Structure 1
Amino acid sequence: MKSITINGSKRESVGKKATKALRNAGQVPCVLYGGDAPLHFAAEEIAFKSLVYTPDVHTVEIKLEGGEVFNAVLQDIQFHPVTDAILHIDFYQIFEDKEITMEIPVHTTGVARGVKNGGVLRFNLRRMRVKGLPGNLPDFIEADITPLRIGNKLYVTALKSDNFKIMHPDNTVVCQVRTSRNVIADTDDEEETAEDEVPATEVNETE
C-alpha cells in the first residue's frame, strides 16, 4: 500500500483557544492513538490534500520536529459543516507485526456481458472492510465483472483475499447487473455458455 508523509509538530496546548489559533494559521489539529498515550500534533492543511481528497487509501508516515517518526492510518476526520475545511483528524498508529482493519476501494475489471446487452451495472459496495498485516493490505480489491449477465450478482466470495481477511458476510453483494429499457436478447451458443460459467457461490441469478 502506498504511503504519504505528513510533516508536523507537537502541540504544547490542546485547549479551545490554542486549537482555534492553529486553525486560523492554516494548521489542522491532530491526535495519534495506538501508542502508549495519545499524541497531539498539528500540520498544515495543504499537507492532507493527497490523503483526504482522493478515492484511494494510504498509510501515513508522520514526521514530527525532533526526528520522531510514526506509521499510521487515518481513523477519523471532521469537516466544517459550511466550508468543508478540515477541523480535526484522528490517526491510529500501526506496527508491521500487528493486524489492522481498513476500508479498501473496489476496482472492477472487464465489461459485464449483461451491460453489453443493455443492462446497467449497480454497485452495492464501493469499499470493503478488510483486516490484515499492514504490508499485506492492497491499494484496491480487484473484481472481475466480465461473466455477469443481466440479473447476476457478484458476491464477496468471488474476490481474492489471499493475504488478508474480508470482514463482510459471504452473502454480501458487491455489484449486480440490472435490467433496463435497452435490454437485448442475451443468448449464446453452447460453447460460449460453457466458457462463461462461474461457480454458483460467486455469481448467482436474482431470484
Structure 2
Amino acid sequence: MAPMAELEVQRRQVLGKATRRLRRQGIIPANIFGHKEPSLAIQLEAAAFERFRRQHKAASLVTLRIPGDSLTETALVHSIQRDPCTGKILHVDFYRVSQEEEVEVKVPLHLVGESPAVKESGGTLLRLLDALEVACRATEIPEMIEVDVSPLVEVDQILHAGEIKLPPNVRLLTDPHEPVVKVELPAVEAEEAEEAAPVAQPASAAASAQSQAGESAAREG
C-alpha cells in the first residue's frame, strides 16, 4: 500500500495575484479543503513538492505539518494547476481525509508478464488506459495496480478493466467494460491488410456507372 509521506508547509498570507511573487521565490501557493472545514491557505517549497511527486504516486496520502504549529492535516493531492506553456506548477489543492474513510482515487497501472500474442505472433501491445478509478480506505490506497498481460494469446484480443485483479479491499469504479490493453496486428501486416481491402465505391458513383451501362445497352439494342 502507499506509504504515508510527509510535507512541511507554512500558513500563507499572500493571496490573489500577489502569489506570483511566491512562485518567483520557488514557493508554491496551495490550499487545504474538505470535511466541511474552512479552507486553509498554505504554501510549500517547490523543490520539496517535486521530490514528493517523484517518490510517491499520485494517490499517496500525505501528512502536512506546520513547524512550530500544532496543526497536522492528513490529505490527498486533489489537483495540480500547471502553466500550459512551461509545465511549471502554479497551485496545488489538498483534500482532507480521515485515514479510516473510503476515498475514490485513480491508481496508475503497471503492466507485468508477457503476452503470447506479442512473443509468438509478433503483435504490438497497445496500452489504452493509464490508471483505474477505485474506492478503498485511505490507508489502503495501492501505489499501483499490476496488469498481467499473459492472458492475451491472440492478436486483436483486449483486456478489460473488469478482468484486472485488484488488491484486497479495493473496489473498481471504472466501467468494467473499459478496454485497458490490446494486442494489435504487426505494423507491416496491418498496412498490407489495409492495402488489400477493396475500395468502396460511393453509392452515387455506382448508380451513375449503372445508369451509363444501361443507356449503352439500350443504344446497342
Q: Does 1:140 align with 2:144?
A: yes
1:109 aligned residue: 112
User: Which moves more between the two structures, 72-81 or 174-183?
Assistant: 174-183
Give the Cα separation in 1 of the matches to 2:89 and 2:32: 16
What's 1:195 paired with?
none
Match of 1:159 in 2: 164
1:99 aligns with 2:102: yes
**Distance in 2 between the 1:86 and 1:181 partners?**
38
Q: Give the AA of the match of 2:20.
A: K
Q: Which position in structure 1 is the counterpart of 2:200? A: none
Within 2, Cα distance between the matches of 1:132 and 1:81? Answer: 32
* Deviation digits for residues 162-189 of structure 1 (CA, Å, limit 9, x no counterpart): 3111111221111011111467xxxxxx
Aligned length: 182
Identify the residue that residue 173 of structure 1 maps to in structure 2: 179
Give the match's secondary structure for 1:22.
helix
What is the TM-score normalised by the length of structure 1? 0.81
Separation in 1 of the partners of 2:125 and 2:95? 35
Structure 2 counterparts to residues 1-207 of structure 1, below 5 A: 1-17=2-18, 19-35=19-35, 36-52=37-53, 56-57=57-58, 58-65=60-67, 66-116=69-119, 117-149=121-153, 150-161=155-166, 162-181=168-187
How big is the shift at 1:83? 2.5
Distance 1:108 1:81 in 2: 30
Q: Does structure 1 conserve the Cα–Cα contact (< 8 Å) formed by 2:100 and 2:139?
A: no
Superposition deviation, residue 136 in structure 1: 1.9
Larger Rg: 2
Q: Could you say what the CA RMSD is over the residues aligned between the two structures, in angstroms?
A: 1.9
Paired with 1:182 and 1:119, the residues of 2 have a C-alpha distance of 10
Distance 1:54 1:152, change over 3 A: farther
8 A Cα contact 1:4 1:60, kept in partner: yes
Counterpart Cα distance in 1 of 2:187 and 2:27: 52
Query: Larger helix proportion, structure 1 or 2?
Result: 2
